[in-house]
Amino acid sequence: MTKTLPALLLTGATGYIGRRLAPALQGSWRVFRASRTAAGEGALDLDLADPDSIRRAFDAAVPKAVIHAGAEADPDVCEKNPERARRVNVDAVKTLAALCGASGTRLIHFSTDLVFDGERGWYTEDDRPEPRGVYARGKLASEEAALVRAPGAVVLRVAAVYGRPLGGRLGFIDHLRAKLAAGETAAAFTDQWRTATAADQLPEVAARLLADPDLAGVFHWGGGDRATRFEAAIAFARIMGFDEGLIRPARSADAKFASPRPRDSSLDSSRLAAAIGIAPLTHEAGFRALRGAWG
Ligand SMILES: NC(=O)c1ccc[n+]([C@@H]2O[C@H](COP(=O)([O-])OP(=O)(O)OC[C@H]3O[C@@H](n4cnc5c(N)ncnc54)[C@H](OP(=O)(O)O)[C@@H]3O)[C@@H](O)[C@H]2O)c1
């Protein structure tokens, strides 16, 4: 007799993170991959700006669990269109979390290190978020909606995610690598500290969270060490065999971002690391694991 796998609704399935989660979770879950452009087996149409579309996707999947990795994840896009950002990043989570709460469905909701103002760094889950900008404020509001409306929900804050190229949206690491490979200089901030998250660890982290309903509430999952974007870029160049001299130091004030960026939004991930028995990869270890990823 074939075992029927429990249904998992994965929003943001075509995104940087969603693309990595879907295939990895496929063996233990019947994954419904939902987004505006998801295609193929298990794909569901979903427009997060439309509450009816969210309900339809939920009803079609009848999920035992939901991973919400769908969002307008570009802070500058959110800053320029706050009304749409609210609908996609906040109202959608209210709808989704209410559906989860009403049906006793477990919700794992992705959030961000940018909920912190970055004045201090090494934030734990007990530190008070002070979001700056439309995107960050919306993500914090979405966290609250998830936790209040879907009891037992997990809010998983990740940071500057990097991984091997899988098509779709390019990450900061792809842009950096493309410049270095072309022999072009790449500017990197000396005054922005991050604990970048290794994408390859996220499927295992998500699987552990799905497997253990006692893990509820807010968790951080960044990298195992903190580095400026400049330090991280230098390490990447060295490990990948590019010329480190191509990395040019830059200051945040020189960049014209529509949305503010925190100085040091580094995350302390030790609580979740201890709970699931996995150590978050340092920048160096994460980059070494990517050697050869671009062929
Ligand atoms: N990547 C990072 O470095 C990072 C860092 C911190 C936090 N996060 C959080 O992690 C989550 C996933 O981020 P990501 O980097 O994977 O984002 P991404 O690559 O920009 O992908 C966003 C996903 O959301 C979907 N989406 C966007 N607007 C939608 C809409 N109106 N209706 C339905 N689906 C929509 C997109 O699919 P379609 O275009 O096909 O609809 C895509 O699958 C987000 O909550 C983000 O805030 C990411």
Give the pocket of ligand 1 (CB within 6 Å): 12-18, 35-38, 46-49, 69-73, 88, 110, 112, 139, 158-161, 169
Ligand 1 pocket: which of 74, 87, 110 to mutate (most atoms within 8 A of CB): 110
Measured in Å, residue 110 CA sits from the centre of ligand 1 at 9
Ligand 1 pocket: which of 9, 10, 17 to mutate (most atoms within 8 A of CB): 17
Measured in Å, residue 161 CA sits from the centre of ligand 1 at 12
Strand, coil or helix: what is 10? strand
Count of domains observed in the chain: 1
**Is residue 114 a part of any domain in this protein?**
yes
Residue 51: exposed, middle, or buried by beta-carbon count in 10 A (0-12, 13-18, 19+)?
middle
CB 269 within 8 A of CB 221: yes
Measured in Å, residue 169 CA sits from the centre of ligand 1 at 9
**Is residue 287 a part of any domain in this protein?**
no
**Is residue 246 a part of any domain in this protein?**
no
**Is residue 171 a part of any domain in this protein?**
no
**Is residue 121 a part of any domain in this protein?**
yes
d(CA 153, CA 290): 32
Residue 153's domain spans which residues?
7-162+197-224
Q: Which residue has the tokens 């990795």?
A: 69
- For residue 153 the two structure tokens come to 């929900």
pLDDT at position 295 is: 74
pLDDT tens for each residue of the chain, 295 residues long: 567 999 999 999 999 999 999 999 999 999 999 999 999 999 999 999 999 999 999 999 999 999 999 999 999 999 999 999 999 999 999 999 999 999 999 999 999 999 999 999 999 999 999 999 999 999 999 999 999 999 999 999 999 999 999 989 999 999 999 999 999 999 999 999 999 999 999 999 999 999 999 999 999 999 999 999 999 999 999 999 999 999 999 999 989 899 999 999 999 999 999 999 999 999 999 999 999 899 7
For the CA atoms of 233, 236, 241, 247, the dihedral, rounded to the nearest 10 degrees, stands at: 0
DSSP, residue by residue, 233-254: HHHHHHHHT--GGGEEEE-GGG
* Ligand 1 atom 11 nearest Cα: 69
pLDDT at position 155 is: 99
**Is residue 268 a part of any domain in this protein?**
no
Catalytic residues: 135
**Is residue 272 a part of any domain in this protein?**
no
Measured in Å, residue 79 CA sits from the centre of ligand 1 at 16
Is this prediction's pTM over 0.95?
yes
pLDDT at position 1 is: 55
Candidates 286, 127, 126; CA nearest to 195 is 286
pLDDT at position 3 is: 74
Ligand 1 pocket: which of 78, 83, 161, 170 to mutate (most atoms within 8 A of CB): 161
Ligand 1 atom at minimal distance to the Cα of residue 161: 3
**Is residue 73 a part of any domain in this protein?**
yes
DSSP, residue by residue, 35-89: ESS--STTEEE--TT-HHHHHHHHHHH--SEEEE--S---HHHHHH-HHHHIIII
Residue 100: exposed, middle, or buried by beta-carbon count in 10 A (0-12, 13-18, 19+)?
buried
pLDDT at position 2 is: 60
Angle at alpha carbon of residue 172, lines to 168 and 176, rounded to 5°: 110
d(CA 283, CA 289): 10
Q: What is the CATH number of the domain that holds 148?
A: 3.40.50.720
